[in-house]
Amino acid sequence: MVRGERATAERARVLIIVQNLPVPFDRRVWLECRTLARAGLDVSVVCPRGSGTGRFQVVEGVSIHGYRPYAPGGSALGFVLEYAYSFLATLWLVLRARRGGPFAVLQACNPPDIFWPIAWWLRLRDGTRFVFDHHDLCPELFRSRFEGGSRLALRGLLALERQTFLAADHVVSTNTSYAEVAVERGGKPASEVSVVRTGPDLERLRPVEPDPALRRGHRHLVAYLGVMGPQDGVDIVIAAADLLVNRWGRRDVAFTVMGDGDSRAALVAERDRCGLQDVVELPGRVSDATMVAVLSTADIGLSPDPSNPLNDVSTMNKTMEYMALGLPVLSFDLPETRVSAAGAASYVAADGGAEAYARALVELLDDPARRVEMSRTGRERVEQELAWVHQQETYLGVVEDLIGCAARVDASAAGSRVTEG
């Protein structure tokens, strides 16, 4: 298939598997889906169901097959049960989706690294090519969530990761740190690894007029958007709010903490224990309209991810979404965050804790001129370099090249059958 060649009488079919989040809630996967669909490809997704979604829906031309999510808890055993269930549910829906015809390309997104057997089966059956969309480093995720955890479990995760790399025809990495892992630990040739950052969608992330009501009577509003797991540092936000209000007497700052995850219930309980109900709002997952309104009103976007084996090499999607909306970022000093945010962020020492984060927050709130400059820097970096519009051509090129490989395999197989006849 020639790069740029689009829909034909029989459109090439692409299947995307994602377990971590439902689609279209998973922003990266949804950007990929829309890019492929706009290029004229037939796109199907298998994922867990989200709030208000059913077993099957078609959104913007993308067919979404959803299974009932199952999450028995955040323990190591809970993850094993969840992933076993997810694999079986995914396999069932892959079989159902394949009734519409074979797929030229399968894309599996992690975590977890468990879908490579499906990739091998489809390759043997249909010549399907496999692209691994590398979202997370599962061994580092385990080490970050379960410090001192089972070495046997860690070896198992490394083995699953190796099998995924081995099965992949091409790896799409979210940053250069992940790309280095694919080459050095995964043994992939550099020619089979491409960096495609999770760039913000400027069509979706357009600043709106600030809404003073969202400040809830406070002078300042600071906001968090993202997942709430043990490794995400949202507990640091609650601790910083406690310091500002209950120890330092700063009652001019409101916190809006948007998102969900394993730790949300504990965070709500800690917020209530500290008596911060009037200061810290935890609304859970919110609509795009609410998210944009809050971030367009806020003074600072919070990226409290602490230094750990995963965060040190990961790109935080929320950081770039803050930047897209012109929001200054407060972050710990992590290598990949510096690559993304540069001068759009204020950095707290990586070994600092909640008090260091809280003091840096106060300093930034009390320096409006600096915030204005950071806002300008962040928006310019997104518009000129980081936005999805700058990433999508690389991604589309990877998929189209694999479709071309699949088409050549099909043609060769057809020729062999004719010769044998």
> Same domain for 273 and 290?
yes
pLDDT at residue 74 is higher than 90: no
pLDDT at residue 391 is higher than 50: yes
Gap between the Cα atoms of 108 and 105, Å rounded: 10
> Same domain for 240 and 125?
no
pLDDT at residue 92 is higher than 90: yes
Residue 78, pLDDT score: 79
Token pair for residue 99? 């009734």
Residue 53 sits at φ, ψ, to 5 deg, of -110, 155
Most confident listed range (2-11, 23-32, 128-137, 142-151) = 128-137
Gap between the Cα atoms of 169 and 171, Å rounded: 7
Residue 207 in domain: no
Reported as a single tens digit per residue, the pLDDT across 308-347 is: 999 999 999 999 999 999 999 999 999 999 999 999 999 9
Gap between the Cα atoms of 136 and 6, Å rounded: 31
> Same domain for 29 and 107?
yes
Residue 73, pLDDT score: 67
Q: Which domain holds residue 300?
A: 212-384
The contacts of residue 309 (CB under 8 Å, 6+ apart) are 137, 140, 143, 144
CB atoms within 10 A of CB 25: 14
Mean pLDDT within 302-313: 94
What are the beta bridge partners of residue 42?
A: 13
Q: Report which DSSP code applies to 231.
A: T
> Same domain for 120 and 148?
yes
Reported as a single tens digit per residue, the pLDDT across 372-382 is: 999 999 999 99
Please state the length of the chain.
421
Token pair for residue 305? 């991810």
**How many separate helices (H) and strands (E) can be counted in the chain?**
14, 14
Mean pLDDT within 5-19: 75
Q: What mean pLDDT is reported for the chain?
A: 91
CATH number, domain of 136, equals 3.40.50.2000
Residue 314 in domain: yes
Residue 3 in domain: no
Residue 72, pLDDT score: 72
Gap between the Cα atoms of 190 and 170, Å rounded: 10
How far, CA to CA in Å, does 137 sit from each of 11, 28, 109, 265, 362? 33, 16, 11, 26, 33
Output helix, strand, coil percentages for the chain, rounded to the nearest 5: 50, 15, 35
> Same domain for 263 and 341?
yes
> Same domain for 410 and 356?
no
Reported as a single tens digit per residue, the pLDDT across 206-220 is: 999 999 999 999 999
pLDDT at residue 6 is higher than 50: no
Token pair for residue 186? 């995964």
Reported as a single tens digit per residue, the pLDDT across 227-264 is: 898 889 999 999 999 999 999 999 999 999 999 988 99
Count of domains observed in the chain: 2
> Same domain for 260 and 368?
yes
Mean pLDDT within 127-139: 96
Contact 345, 376 (CB under 8 A): no
pLDDT at residue 1 is higher than 50: no
What are the beta bridge partners of residue 258?
A: 225, 284
Gap between the Cα atoms of 341 and 38, Å rounded: 29
Token pair 């690294």 is at which residue?
113
Contact 310, 136 (CB under 8 A): yes
Mean pLDDT within 356-381: 97
Gap between the Cα atoms of 37 and 52, Å rounded: 23
pLDDT at residue 364 is higher than 90: yes
Gap between the Cα atoms of 139 and 321, Å rounded: 26
Residue 71, pLDDT score: 75
Residue 2 in domain: no
> Same domain for 73 and 161?
yes
Gap between the Cα atoms of 117 and 128, Å rounded: 13
Gap between the Cα atoms of 88 and 148, Å rounded: 30
Gap between the Cα atoms of 293 and 297, Å rounded: 6
Contact 167, 147 (CB under 8 A): no
pLDDT at residue 134 is higher than 70: yes
Tell me which of 2-16, 163-177, 295-309 is least confident: 2-16
